[in-house]
Structures are given as C-alpha cells and as structure tokens.
Amino acid sequence: MLDEPITIKQLAQMLGLAHSTVSRALNGHPAISEATKKRIAEAAAKAGYVPNSAAQSLKTARSHTIGLVVPDIQNAFYATVAKTIATAAADQSWQLVLAITEDQPGREAHAIESLLKAQAEGVIIVPTAAPEPETLAMIKRLRVVQLLRHHPRIESPAITLADRYGISAATEHLQALGHERIGYIGAPTAVTTGRERLQGFLDRFSASPESRDEAGARIQIGPPKKSFAADAFRRLLAMSEPPSAIVLGSQSFALGVLLAARQDNIRIPADVSLVGYGDSEWCTLLDGGLTALSLPVQEIAQACVDTLRKRLEMPPTRKSLARAAQPEHIFLPKLIIRGSSRRRG
C-alpha cells in the first residue's frame, strides 16, 4: 500500500514491449523466446511485479479460492480439519477463506454469499441445523462437500461418521459391564449428528417399551457447552434412581462433566462410569484415562480434501455433479477403553 502496485502495462512499458508479450512470457507461453522470457522474468522480479488476482479471476473465471465454513475453530476436531485443508490449499496454490458460523444460520448465510461473490471454486461446510432458504439456493451454485452433518436439501457428497453405530457401541460397552441405568448427555437433535447419536443410544433399549421409557428419562439434550454438560451431569445424579454410567454425545461435554464431578466429589469411575465422545489430547491425563469414542480425524480431513479435489476436476455439468452427490465416505468411530468405565460394583 505504501508503494502503488506495478501493473503489467507499466512493466511492459519499462521494457519497451506490449503488455500482451509480458503476459505471455510470465505465463510460459511457447511462442515467446527463452531469451525474452528470461529478460522479462528478471525485470518483473526486480520491479516486484505481482499480478492482480482480481483481474486474473475476472478474465479467466477462475478464482483459486476455496472456502471452509465451520461452527467453531476452537474445537480440536475442526482445527485439525482446518490445518489439513490449509496445507492442501497452499500446496495447490489455492486461497483458503475461513468462516465461522457458531451454528447461526445468519452467519452461515453471510459466509456462503461471500464465497459466491468471490466465485469460490469449492466449499467445505458443516451446515447449521436450519440453513435459510436463500442459503440453500446459493449453495446449489457452489461445489460443496458436506462435513459431518448431512443436510437433506443440500445435494453434495458428505463425509460423515457412523455416529449411531458409535454411540450404540459405547452404550453396549457399558451394558456389558453390568450397567442398567445409563444416562445420556447429547447435543441438539436438530442436526443429523445429534439425531443419529441419540438414536444409537436408544437402539440399545429397544427390547421393551418399558426399558425404552426408562432410558428416555435419563436423557439430557442441550447446547454443546461445558456449562450445559456440568448442569446436565448434576441433574442426572440428582435423580431418585441416578444412572451408574453416562454416555456423552459431544466432544464438548467431557471437560464440563469431569470438572463438575471434581467439584462435587463424585469419583469416576467408582461412583459413575463415563464414556466420552472424541479423544482429547488430555484424555490420558486423568487417573486411568477417559474411555472414549476415538474419531479418525486425520482421515476425515484428508477425505474432505480428496473429495473436494475430485469434485473440482469434474466437468461442471449438472449430470455429473448430481451423480456424485451421494455420501461417499462414512468413517467409524472406535471405542478406546480406558479407566473411566468400570464394571458396576
């Protein structure tokens, strides 16, 4: 900003050439002699010439821009995804535009509109529970890959987790340890992930209507915040027949529950067994560690990149894009058994 940027025309004038020749030389056009190319390249470097990508985008209709739209970058899962995508983007000379929705459809709409204006070539998005109709219309005009959540009205490949299976396995693990009264703290069911996970929990109580009703009474659904987890945990333990084990349905809950337990002098697993959702780096720091569903974060992030890249290479016909709109990758969470789950004693 201090120095006005140099344009290709000025550079050409300095060299006594037409700007078209300079353009071709810098883009490696075969019709320009090596000697001229070299001379131009050196002058460009010396003058600090940098092409204006707005002009390039306008002319070539290629923005070299991709978008990443996530609810929360402070979440370790999304941070890992962001890192993987940012690295891949740099390798491909893409520009990565980051938008954080905090699960608010308004912010989501803003992000998508901005990416549409910028003619983004691809977008990786974790959709909110209820995107605005305008947002859905705009998303149709972008090449999208959905991550984790899968909104029914967004036609695009989706990279998802077998959440229902995972929570079901976690619950089964507790049942196998003799626990009968099992609680569940889960994220809102407005999004697919929340629904799937709750369903996975309920699946383990489908034997009789009574057991199902009983399990239903020990369900706490709320926002993925530490504070909610702590409150929900205390509510569960305050029941007349409190659970002897609890399944957590979101990454964000483990810490809140553990801190509440520590404050209230509840011993894990002596008083309550616990299964968390998603490994945290501090999982092994507790005595005995936290039993948890481990998510293949790296693999998921890589799948995002690979899927997006494949999608970018596709011809932009309605047919081929629609054909590839089926969910492509479903990853399995893996139950890692550590010290926080123990046979009911």
Partner DNA sequence: ACTGCTTATGCACACGTGTGCATAAGCGTA
Partner DNA sequence: TACGCTTATGCACACGTGTGCATAAGCAGT
Q: Residue 25 CB, nearest distance to DNA (Å)?
A: 7
Binding site for DNA (CB under 7 A): 5, 7-9, 12, 16-21, 23-24, 26-27, 31-33, 36, 51-52, 55-56, 58-61
Which of 17, 138, 219, 266 contacts a copy of itself by CB under 8 A?
138
CB atoms within 10 A of CB 15: 18
Quote the longest CA-to-CA distance of the chain. Answer: 89
Q: 192, 162 in Cβ contact below 8 A?
A: no
Report what 24 binds from DNA, a copy of itself, none; CB cut-off 5-8 Å by kind. Answer: DNA
Report what 31 binds from a copy of itself, DNA, none; CB cut-off 5-8 Å by kind. Answer: DNA
116 binds a copy of itself (CB under 8 A): yes
CB atoms within 10 A of CB 187: 25
CB atoms within 10 A of CB 220: 18
Q: What residues contact residue 77 under an 8 Å CB cut-off, 6+ apart?
A: 251, 278, 295, 297
Nearer to DNA, 19 or 107 (CB): 19
* Sole window of 21-29, 191-199, 216-224, 283-291 interacting with a copy of itself (rule: CB under 8 A): 283-291
**Distance between start and end Cα atoms, the chain:** 70
55 binds a copy of itself (CB under 8 A): yes
Report what 138 binds from DNA, a copy of itself, none; CB cut-off 5-8 Å by kind. Answer: a copy of itself
255 binds a copy of itself (CB under 8 A): yes
Please give the residue ranges that form the binding site for a copy of itself (CB under 8 A).
1-3, 5, 48, 50-58, 63, 68, 72-74, 76, 79-80, 82-83, 86-87, 90, 93, 95-100, 102, 107, 110-111, 113-114, 116-119, 137-138, 140-143, 255, 258-259, 262, 280-282, 284-286, 316, 318, 321
